[in-house]
């Protein structure tokens, strides 16, 4: 980071013998800093004799495995679609907000910053739960996967509730970091957050359920649940109820969509067939075991 900061003015302004690159200099500075960091890290690992260093006898492991590549491609596509679904839904909601004028748009922009921080703990917890679930799936300990899911949902619900409660009480003061106290957007932002914030509790719980489900390689049902929650429930809800509720229809569509999402996620977690799914075909897993990349663990051995 220090090297990146130091190179930015040098390359942007063209200090010394270097030509001025303008905005492209910022990109060049980031690339140069990353390359230098990577080189230094490789040298450091070699000097320490780290286990992370590839030795000549292990270079064969770099050969592409078509089975793994195929699995990563087909499992990764729904994740890419999910980002598209979320981005398009966010753009659609913004267009609905913009119709109510600049004050509402400013309010939405301010509270969106706060909502981003509310989501972060649940998203981080979901990633951690997914990793823990994947490890126990590989070990054949589905009982531990169930336990990870239960505790993850509980922690997400309690943690998000505490965070939302604090923000709910301190909302007017937090908003001053983004809006002037006398701004006409401030009361709109306060009202929006008081409605929307509580929806992040079911959102966080849904993120845990989906993280555990994806750990087994099941990726399409979580995507379908998100499509239903955003495009079948949230956006139509906001559109249909605007004539009677006005802009509050947009705010209420967030918690309504989140509740639908957690119900779908919990329903599939409870009754779906994700427990029988596997991330890689058995043939690929067997090849990985033969090369030393994976060691199958039986349930009894995992218990010991």
Which range marks the domain in which residue 271 is found?
Answer: 83-285
- pLDDT tens digits, residue range 108-152? 999 998 998 898 888 899 999 999 999 998 888 888 999 999 999
Residue, of 175 and 300, whose pLDDT is higher: 175
- Are 32 and 145 found together in one domain? no
- Are 43 and 116 found together in one domain? no
DSSP state of 233: I
| Separation between Cα atoms, residue 19 and residue 42, nearest integer Å | 30
Q: Say what the pLDDT of residue 289 is.
A: 45
Torsion sign (Cα): 165, 170, 176, 182: positive
Say if CB 107 and CB 188 are below 8 A apart.
Answer: yes
Residue 183: φ, ψ to 5°: -70, 140
298 in a structural domain:
no
Q: Say what the pLDDT of residue 304 is.
A: 36
- Are 36 and 181 found together in one domain? no
Say if CB 121 and CB 163 are below 8 A apart.
Answer: yes
DSSP state of 174: H
Q: Which of 225, 186, 187, 178 is nearest to 205 (CA)?
A: 225
Taking residues 160-170, report their average pLDDT: 92
Using 50, 70 and 90 to split pLDDT, how confident is the model at 254? very high
**Global model pTM greater than 0.85:** no
- Are 38 and 165 found together in one domain? no
Q: Which of 133, 76, 106 is nearest to 274 (CA)?
A: 133
- Are 184 and 271 found together in one domain? yes
- Are 91 and 228 found together in one domain? yes
278 in a structural domain:
yes
- Are 15 and 90 found together in one domain? no
Taking residues 155-182, report their average pLDDT: 89
281 in a structural domain:
yes
| Separation between Cα atoms, residue 130 and residue 211, nearest integer Å | 5
Percent of the chain exceeding pLDDT 90 equals: 58
- Are 16 and 101 found together in one domain? no
- Are 140 and 281 found together in one domain? yes
């Amino acid at each position: 980071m220090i090297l990146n900061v130091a190179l930015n003015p040098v390359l942007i302004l063209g200090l010394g013998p270097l030509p001025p690159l303008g905005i492209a200099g910022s990109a060049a500075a980031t690339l140069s800093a990353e390359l230098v960091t990577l080189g230094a890290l490789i040298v450091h690992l070699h000097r320490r004799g780290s286990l992370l260093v590839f030795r000549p006898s292990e270079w064969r492991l770099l050969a592409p495995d078509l089975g793994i590549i195929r699995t990563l491609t087909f499992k990764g596509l729904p994740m890419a679609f999910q980002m598209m679904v979320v981005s398009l839904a966010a753009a659609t909601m913004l267009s609905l907000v913009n119709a109510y004028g600049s004050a509402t748009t400013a309010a939405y922009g301010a509270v969106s910053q706060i909502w981003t921080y509310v989501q972060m703990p649940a998203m981080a917890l979901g990633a951690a739960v997914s990793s823990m679930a994947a490890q126990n799936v590989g070990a054949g300990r589905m009982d531990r996967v169930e336990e990870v899911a239960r505790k993850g949902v509980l922690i997400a619900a309690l943690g998000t509730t505490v965070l939302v409660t604090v923000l709910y009480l301190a909302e007017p003061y937090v908003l001053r970091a983004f809006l002037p106290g006398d701004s006409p957007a401030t009361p709109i932002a306060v009202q929006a957050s008081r409605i929307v914030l509580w929806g992040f509790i079911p959102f966080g719980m849904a993120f845990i359920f989906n993280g555990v489900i994806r750990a087994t390689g099941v990726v399409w049902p979580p995507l379908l649940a998100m499509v239903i929650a955003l495009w079948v429930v949230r956006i139509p809800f906001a559109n249909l109820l605007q004539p009677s509720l006005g802009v509050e229809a947009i705010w209420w569509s967030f918690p309504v969509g989140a509740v639908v999402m957690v119900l779908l996620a919990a329903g599939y977690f409870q009754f779906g067939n994700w427990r029988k799914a596997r991330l890689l075909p058995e043939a690929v897993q067997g090849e990985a075991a033969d090369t030393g990349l994976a060691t199958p663990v039986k349930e009894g051995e995992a218990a010991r």
